[in-house]
C-alpha cells in the first residue's frame, strides 16, 4: 500500500502518538461539523452556564480524601463526544454528574463524566488523577497499554461498552469499486492508526490481491487536526476514490455523495471494533475501588437497558450534555442523531458475555486485541516499538462482568445462544451479489485427494476461522481452485471435493452453521494470477500457480 513520505508520515505519527497515543479515533470530533453552514464549532475553552453540562470539572469541589464514589469525590471518567456512550449519561440522569433519582444515585455511587475530545494519554490521565477510568477502543487499547506500562502505570478494561455494527466503513464514489479488491490502483482517504484504519488493513491483508496490487492502493492520510471532517471533505470533493469513515461523518457522506456505496463495513465485520472502559490498576487493586467500579459497571449496564427502552431519552442526554451533539441536533435534527444508533450496539451484560466468551465460544475481545497489536506494531504505531507484547488476558479485568453474569442467569443463557440465525434462502440471496472481499488460503492436500491433513486443519484454524469470526453476520462462498495443469474436468471435481472437505471441517470442528457456506469447485476457471504472464505480478510461474491453487473464502452480506 502506498504511504506518505517518511517525513510526512513521521509528522502525522508525532501528532497521533504524541498527542493522543496513536489514537485519532475521535480527534476530529470538534471538526465533524466543519463545512455545515451557519454552525459554530464547539471549543474546549468556550464558557458555559452549566459547568456540568460542558464537561468542565470543578476541582475545588472534589475532596480526594473523601471516599471514592462519594458526592465529594466522585468516580471520574474520561469520555469523548460519541453516541456509543449515551447509556452512561442516561444512567447518570441525562447528566455528566450524578443526579438525584438516577440509576447511579440508586446504587449510591457518584460518577462524573469528563468530556475530553483532545484525548489525553492514559498515563497523563492516571498520573494527574484527572480521572480513574477512560474510554478506549479495543485496538487503541492494544496500542496504548504497552506505553502505559512504560510510564510506570497500568490499567485494565472492565467492560465492553459498545460494538460498532455499521458505524465504520470503507465508502467509495468510484463506479468500479464494489469490493476490497477493486481498491487496487485507487486512492483512499483516512485517519492513520484509527480503528477504521485497522479495519482497512485487515481487509486488504485478507483479500485476494497480489502483493503488488496491495502496494498499489494509495493511502491518503488526512492530518489528524482536520479529523474525519477532512476525510469526508476529500471524498466529497472527488480528490480520492474512497474513504474510511465512521458516524456521523459516514452517514453524512452517504447522503452528500451521489452514487456513493459502502464497500465494507462493520455491518459485516461485526466482531472487529469494540469500545471498552479502562480503569487505573491502582483503583482496581483496592477493595474500596473494586466496590465502586462494580457499581459503575452495573449502572452502565442498566443504562443500556434504559437507553434501548427509550432512545429519545438517549438523544436528549447527548444533546443536553455535549456541545457537539447540541450543534448536530440544531443542524441535522434529533432524528438524525437517533438514526446513528442503528449502527452501534450498546452492549449489555448478555453482549459482554458473548463478546468475552464467558458463555462459551470465542473471546472476540482478546482475539481483536491480539490482532490489532500485530497490525499496529507492523505499521509502527507504538511510541516504543520495543515495548513488550502484553497477553490479551492481562488487559481485561473480568471480575465485574462475571459478577453481574452470576446474578443474571437469563443473560448467560441468552449469550450462549447464537446471536444470528442463518438460512439457506438468505445464503442463496446473498451469494448472488458481488463478494465484498475474498481471502485465499493455502490449504494443502495430497496429490489427487480431498482429505484434510493435520497441517491443513491448522491452516484453516489459523487463517480461515478468525476471518469468519470477524465477519459475524456474513455468508461465505468456499471454493476449491486449481492451476491450469491437468485435465479440466478432473480439476473441477477435485476442487469441489476439497472445498466440501473444508466446509465439513468448519461445521463439525468449529460449529459454524452449515447454512453460512456455499461450496464451489472452480477448477482452473477463476485464476487469481495470469499463468501466461506471472512476471506481471512479480511472481515466478510456480508461485503464480500456487496462488491459483488456493482454497478461497469470499464474504457476502450487509455492507
The pLDDT score that the predictor gives to residue 38 is 31
Give percent of the chain with pLDDT exceeding 70: 89
Contacts of 72 (CB under 8 A, 6+ apart): 61, 62, 63, 66
Q: Write the burial class of residue 386 (CB in 10 Å: 0-12 exposed, 13-18 middle, 19+ buried).
A: exposed
The enclosing H or E element of 479 equals strand 475-481
- Judged by DSSP in three states, 277 sits in strand
Average pLDDT over the chain reads 87
Cite the DSSP H helix spans in 27-156: 51-54, 86-91, 103-106, 122-128, 138-150
CB burial readout 3-38, b (16+ within 10 A) else e: eeeeeebeebbebbbebbbbbbbbbbbbbbbbebee
pLDDT tens-digit profile of 371-425?
999 988 888 877 787 888 999 999 999 999 999 999 999 999 999 998 899 999 9
Q: 538 to each of 187, 544, 551, how far by Cα in Å?
A: 22, 9, 21
How confident is the model over 73-114, as pLDDT tens digits? 999 999 999 999 999 999 999 999 999 999 999 999 999 999
How far apart CA 255 and CA 247 sit, in angstroms, is 12
With a cut of 70, say whether residue 27 has pLDDT above it: no
Nearest C-alpha neighbor of 157 from the set 175, 174, 144: 144
**Which cell numbers in the block locate residue 402?**
462475571
Report the phi/psi class of residue 390: left, alpha or beta, with left for phi > 0 and alpha for psi in -120 to 50. Answer: beta
Instruction: Indicate the pLDDT class of residue 1, thresholds 50, 70 and 90.
Output: low
Cell of 472: 459475524
**Spatial distance between the Cα atoms of 189 and 393, rounded to a whole number of angstroms:** 34
CA atoms within 13 A on the CB side of 453: 10
Burial class (CB in 10 A: 0-12, 13-18, 19+), 445: buried
At residue 483, does pLDDT exceed 90?
A: no
The C-alpha atoms of residue 143 and residue 121 are separated, in whole angstroms, by 11
Q: How far is CA 403 from CA 124, 158, 162, 302, 407, in A?
A: 30, 12, 19, 14, 7
pLDDT at position 83 is 96
Three-class SS state of 443: coil
CB atoms within 10 A of CB 414: 17
**What tens digit of pLDDT does each residue of 170-221 get?**
999 999 999 999 999 999 999 998 888 989 999 999 999 999 999 999 999 9
Per-residue pLDDT for 554 more than 60?
Answer: yes
Cell of 125: 490521565
Q: Which three cell numbers stand for residue 110?
A: 457518584
Model pLDDT for residues 34-60, shown as the tens digit of each residue = 333 333 323 222 222 333 433 434 444
Assess whether pLDDT exceeds 50 at residue 161.
Answer: yes
Q: Are 274 and 280 in contact (CB under 8 A)?
A: no
| pTM: predicted TM-score of the whole model, two decimal places | 0.85
The whole-angstrom separation of Cα 137 and Cα 194 is 9
Give all strands of the β-sheet with 475-481 in edge-to-edge order.
Answer: 437-441, 551-556, 475-481, 517-523
* Edge-to-edge strand ranges of the sheet holding 218-221: 218-221, 187-190, 242-246, 168-172, 261-265
Amino acid at each position: 500500500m502506498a504511504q506518505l513520505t517518511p517525513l510526512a508520515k513521521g509528522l502525522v505519527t508525532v501528532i497521533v502518538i504524541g498527542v493522543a497515543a496513536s489514537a485519532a479515533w475521535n480527534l476530529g470530533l470538534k471538526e465533524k461539523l466543519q463545512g455545515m453552514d451557519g454552525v459554530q464549532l464547539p471549543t474546549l475553552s468556550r464558557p458555559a452556564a452549566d459547568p456540568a453540562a460542558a464537561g468542565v470539572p470543578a476541582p475545588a469541589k472534589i475532596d480526594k480524601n473523601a471516599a471514592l464514589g462519594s458526592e465529594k469525590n466522585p468516580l471520574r471518567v474520561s469520555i469523548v463526544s460519541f453516541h456509543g456512550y449515551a447509556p452512561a449519561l442516561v444512567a447518570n440522569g441525562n447528566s455528566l454528574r450524578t443526579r438525584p433519582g438516577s440509576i447511579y444515585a440508586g446504587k449510591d455511587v457518584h460518577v462524573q463524566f469528563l468530556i475530553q475530545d483532545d484525548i489525553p494519554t492514559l498515563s497523563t490521565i492516571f498520573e494527574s488523577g484527572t480521572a480513574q477510568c477512560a474510554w478506549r477502543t479495543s485496538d487503541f487499547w492494544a496500542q496504548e497499554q504497552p506505553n502505559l506500562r512504560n510510564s510506570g502505570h497500568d490499567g485494565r478494561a472492565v467492560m465492553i461498552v459498545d460494538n460498532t455494527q455499521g458505524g465504520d466503513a470503507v465508502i467509495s464514489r468510484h463506479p468500479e469499486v464494489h469490493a476490497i479488491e477493486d481498491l487496487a490502483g485507487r486512492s483512499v482517504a483516512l485517519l492513520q492508526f484509527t480503528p477504521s484504519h485497522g479495519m482497512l488493513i485487515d481487509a486488504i491483508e485478507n483479500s485476494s490481491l497480489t502483493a503488488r496490487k496491495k502496494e498499489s492502493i494509495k493511502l491518503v492520510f488526512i492530518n489528524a487536526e482536520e479529523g474525519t471532517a477532512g476525510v469526508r471533505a476529500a471524498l466529497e470533493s472527488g480528490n480520492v476514490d474512497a474513504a474510511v469513515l465512521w458516524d456521523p461523518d459516514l452517514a453524512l457522506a452517504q447522503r452528500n455523495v451521489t452514487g456513493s456505496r459502502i464497500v465494507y463495513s462493520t455491518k459485516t465485520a461485526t466482531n472487529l471494533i469494540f469500545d471498552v472502559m479502562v480503569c487505573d490498576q491502582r483503583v482496581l487493586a483496592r477493595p474500596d475501588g473494586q466496590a465502586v467500579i462494580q457499581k459503575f459497571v452495573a449502572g452502565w449496564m442498566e443504562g443500556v437497558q434504559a437507553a434501548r427502552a427509550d432512545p429519545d431519552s438517549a438523544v436528549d442526554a447527548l444533546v443536553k450534555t455535549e456541545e457537539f451533539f447540541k450543534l448536530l441536533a440544531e443542524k441535522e435534527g434529533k432524528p438524525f442523531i437517533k438514526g446513528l444508533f442503528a449502527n452501534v450496539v450498546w452492549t449489555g451484560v448478555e453482549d459482554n458475555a458473548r463478546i468475552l466468551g464467558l458463555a462459551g465460544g470465542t473471546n472476540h475481545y482478546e482475539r481483536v486485541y491480539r490482532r490489532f497489536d500485530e497490525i499496529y506494531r507492523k505499521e509502527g504505531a507504538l511510541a516504543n516499538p520495543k515495548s513488550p507484547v502484553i497477553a490479551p488476558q492481562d488487559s481485561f479485568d473480568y471480575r465485574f462482568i462475571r459478577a453481574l453474569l452470576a446474578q443474571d442467569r437469563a443473560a448467560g443463557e441468552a449469550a450462549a445462544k447464537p446471536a444470528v440465525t442463518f438460512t439457506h434462502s438468505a445464503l442463496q440471496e446473498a451469494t448472488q451479489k458481488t463478494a465484498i472481499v475474498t481471502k485465499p488460503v493455502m490449504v494443502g492436500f495430497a496429490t489427487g485427494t480431498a482429505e484434510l491433513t493435520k497441517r491443513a486443519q491448522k491452516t484453516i484454524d489459523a487463517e480461515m476461522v478468525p476471518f469468519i469470526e470477524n465477519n459475524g453476520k456474513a455468508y461465505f462462498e468456499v471454493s476449491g481452485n486449481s492451476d491450469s495443469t491437468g485435465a479440466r474436468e478432473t480439476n473441477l471435481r477435485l476442487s469441489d471435493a476439497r472445498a466440501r472437505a473444508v466446509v465439513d471441517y468448519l461445521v463439525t470442528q468449529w460449529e459454524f452453521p452449515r447454512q453460512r457456506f456455499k461450496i464451489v469447485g472452480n477448477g482452473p476457471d477463476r485464476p487469481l494470477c495470469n499463468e501466461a504472464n506471472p512476471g506481471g505480478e512479480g511472481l515466478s510461474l510456480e508461485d503464480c500457480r500456487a496462488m491459483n491453487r488456493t482454497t478461497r473464502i469470499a464474504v457476502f452480506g450487509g455492507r
